């Protein structure tokens, strides 16, 4: 499959880590994640058991999974569309690991925060031991750690990124795309961000606030809300705030907004159900994705935000195709994980996204350019009912053709052409 991302000298410690593991394959990146549902967890265990053994009954899955210590589940190889001298026209590749923290899907609430941080720490330790050069924190992993990087183990030569910058980029791109598809004018829109003071929520606010008529911010911490609102008002943005505790305010906000980004780390954002204005465009930017168009928000145009698609090829070993990536389109991955892969492909082993509240439009553009340069674009849009808009065709060209034109600057080849070339002989993931 070609060499690792090339031209990047591997530190001695990383080489020693491979020797300890009895492997010779470099670990350019590691992806830390967890399963978002018991169904997904059962499928992972079924794949590990192999086709000849019976699938575990649901009760056994729930009994077994919480006891599994964080560990590598599979090797991951990601391809770039950017040709290199070493790899020739097939493009560079980066090698990595998918490490599952095995946070049980029903233990995402705050009551389990200490246990879950311990699991993320354990997963981080696995990545460090393996000599990974950059680690992306997926799903709740980044939420748990974004404000607590000091809780990660001794990092040696490994750097960590929450991946939130690229997540914000894809959320913003998705919102722009939906507005075009639905014939909405961003400049006349009222945008509500739920979970506005989080890293992702505040990043979305900074990127979209200058583009809309009015911004409504909702979160639990009123002081952080005030600080963010004050920051946005410097640019003369019309901003109002509401804490989640003030039900009346949030109810009013929900009814007034025609664009909504749900970026709150909620297992189930039930307080929004039935309150969103009909025909509002709603981006489910949380993890797990749990907003359903018909049952919870009739009339709303919901899409799952923060997802990107790799056009240079993605392979798992062993083959977890369709299991670790449960999307209706091939090679779709959460933006937070894609950030680490894109940085690895670019040979930029740096903690691009760290801490909370530092994501700016400029940083998002920088990250999008890095990703696009290696063929990583906004994924076709979809929701729990299936594809949305041009997602029906499952292509990625649109994402480069719309929005602020950023993607064209990367001068990337046709995604469709590259995908055809790169995916021959490669296992595909995420095909429903």
Partner 1 sequence: MNTVGRMEPLITVNCSTMECASLSPSAPIWQDVLAQAMTGELIAAMNYTSLSEICDDPNELADALEHAQIERGHAARFAVEGRKLGVDVSNNVDAKHWKRLRDAFLGCITERDFIGCLIVQEIMLESFAVASYARVGKVAPGSLGKTFSSIAAEEEEHVDHAMSILRAERALDAPRFDDKVYRLHLDVMTTLAKMLAKECRDGHCEVCHGNCVKPSLFEVSLSAAELRGASLQQYLKTLDMLGIPGEVTLTWVAQLPV
Is residue 88 within the footprint of partner 1 (CB under 8 A)? no
Compare residues 126 and 159 and give the one whose CB is closer to partner 1: 126
Paired strand residues for 355: none
What gap in Å lies between CA 298 and CA 294, rounded to an integer? 5
User: Which is closer to partner 1, CB of 20 or CB of 385?
Assistant: 20
Number of residues near partner 1 (by CB under 8 A) = 25
Rule CB under 8 A: choose which of 15, 16, 39, 69 binds partner 1: 69
Q: Please, which residue, 127 or 172, has the CB nearer to partner 1?
A: 127
Site for partner 1 in 20-39 (CB under 8 A): 20-23
**Residue 247 interacts with partner 1 (CB under 8 A)?**
no
Q: Which is nearer to partner 1, 60 or 109 (CB)?
A: 60
Distance CA 223, CA 110 (A): 20
3-class SS string, the chain: CCCCCCCCCCCHHHHHHHHHHCCCCCCCEEEEECCCCHHHHHHHHHHHHCCCCCCCCHHHHHHHHHHCCCEEEEEEEEECCCCECCCECCCCEEEEEEEECCCCCCCCCHHHHHHHHHHHHHHHHHHHHCCCCEEEECCHHHHHHCCCHHHCCCCCCCEEECCHHHHHHHHHHHHHHHHHHCCCCHHHCEEEEECCCCHHHHHHHHHHHHHCCEEEEEECCHHHHHHHHHHHHCCCCCEEEEECCCHHHHHHHHHHCCEEEECCCCCCCHHHCCCCCCCCEEEECCCCCCCCHHHHCCCCEEEECCEEEECCCEEEECCCCCCCCCCCCCCEEEHHHHHHHHHHHCCCCCCCCCCCCCCCHHHHHHHHHHHHHCCEEECCCEECCEECHHHHHCCCHHHHHCCCCCHHHHCCCCHHHHHHHHCCCCCCCCCC
CB of 99 to partner 1, least distance (A): 8
Binder of partner 1 out of 9, 24, 50, 248 (CB under 8 A): 50
**Nearest to partner 1 of 53, 187 (CB atom):** 53
Interacting positions 278-337 with partner 1 (CB under 8 A):
318
Q: Is 399 in the site for partner 1 (CB under 8 A)?
A: no
66 forms part of the interface with partner 1 (CB under 8 A): yes
Q: Is 56 in the site for partner 1 (CB under 8 A)?
A: yes
**Counting contacts by CB under 8 A, is residue 51 touching partner 1?**
no
Which CB atom, from 117 or from 204, has the smaller least distance to partner 1?
Answer: 117
Out of 73, 216, 332, 346, point to the residue binding partner 1 (CB under 8 A): 73
Asked if 60 touches partner 1 (CB under 8 A), the answer is yes
48 binds partner 1 (CB under 8 A): yes
Q: Which residue of 74, 179, 228, 324 would you call a contact of partner 1, by CB under 8 A?
A: 74
- Residue of 68, 118, 180, 246 that binds partner 1 (CB under 8 A): 68
Give 99 or 344: the residue with its C-beta nearer to partner 1. Answer: 99
Q: Among residue numbers 138 through 177, which ones bind partner 1 (CB under 8 A)?
A: none
Cβ proximity to partner 1, 277 vs 314, nearer residue: 314
Q: Does 427 bind partner 1 (CB under 8 A)?
A: no
Nearer CB in complex with partner 1: 81/124 = 124
Q: Return residues touching partner 1 (CB under 8 A).
A: 20-23, 45, 48-50, 53, 56, 60, 63-64, 66-69, 71-75, 97, 126, 318
């Amino acid at each position: 499959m070609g060499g690792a991302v090339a031209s990047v000298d591997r530190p001695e410690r990383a080489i020693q880590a491979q020797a300890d593991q009895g492997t010779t394959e470099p670990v350019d990146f590691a992806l830390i994640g967890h399963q978002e549902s018991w169904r997904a967890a059962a499928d992972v265990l079924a794949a590990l058991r192999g086709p000849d053994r019976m699938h575990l009954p649901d009760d056994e899955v729930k009994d077994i999974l919480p006891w599994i210590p964080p560990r590598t589940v599979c090797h991951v190889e990601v391809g770039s569309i950017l040709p290199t001298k070493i790899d020739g026209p097939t493009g560079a590749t980066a090698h990595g690991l998918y490490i599952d923290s095995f946070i049980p899907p029903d233990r995402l609430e705050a009551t389990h925060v200490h246990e879950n941080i311990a699991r993320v720490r354990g997963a981080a330790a696995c990545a460090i031991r393996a000599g990974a050069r950059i680690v992306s924190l997926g799903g709740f992993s980044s939420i748990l750690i974004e404000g607590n990087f000091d809780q990660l183990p001794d990092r040696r030569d490994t750097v960590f990124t929450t991946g939130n910058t690229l997540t914000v980029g894809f959320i913003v791109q998705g919102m722009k795309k939906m507005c075009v598809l639905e014939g909405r004018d961003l400049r006349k829109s009222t945008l509500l961000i739920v979970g506005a003071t989080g890293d992702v929520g505040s990043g979305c606010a900074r990127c979209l606030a200058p583009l809309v008529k009015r911004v409504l911010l909702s979160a639990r911490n009123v002081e952080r809300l005030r600080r963010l609102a004050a920051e946005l008002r410097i640019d003369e943005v019309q901003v109002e705030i509401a804490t989640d505790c003030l039900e009346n305010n949030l109810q009013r906000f929900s009814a007034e907004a025609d664009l909504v980004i749900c970026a709150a780390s909620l297992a189930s954002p039930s307080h929004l159900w039935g309150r969103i204005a009909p025909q509002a465009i709603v981006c489910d930017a949380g993890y797990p994705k749990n907003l359903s168009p018909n049952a919870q928000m009739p009339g709303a145009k919901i899409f799952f935000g923060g997802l990107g698609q790799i056009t240079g090829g993605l392979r798992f070993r062993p083959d977890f195709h369709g299991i670790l990536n449960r999307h209706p389109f091939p090679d779709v991955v959460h933006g937070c994980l894609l950030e680490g892969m894109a940085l690895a492909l670019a040979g930029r082993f740096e903690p691009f996204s760290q801490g909370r509240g530092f994501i700016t439009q400029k940083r998002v553009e920088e990250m999008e350019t890095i990703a696009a340069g290696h063929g990583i674009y906004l994924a076709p849009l979809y929701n729990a009912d299936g594809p949305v808009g041009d997602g029906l065709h499952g292509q990625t060209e649109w994402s480069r053709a719309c929005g602020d034109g950023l993607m064209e600057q990367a001068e990337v080849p046709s995604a469709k052409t590259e995908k055809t070339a790169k995916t021959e002989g490669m296992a595909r993931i995420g095909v429903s």
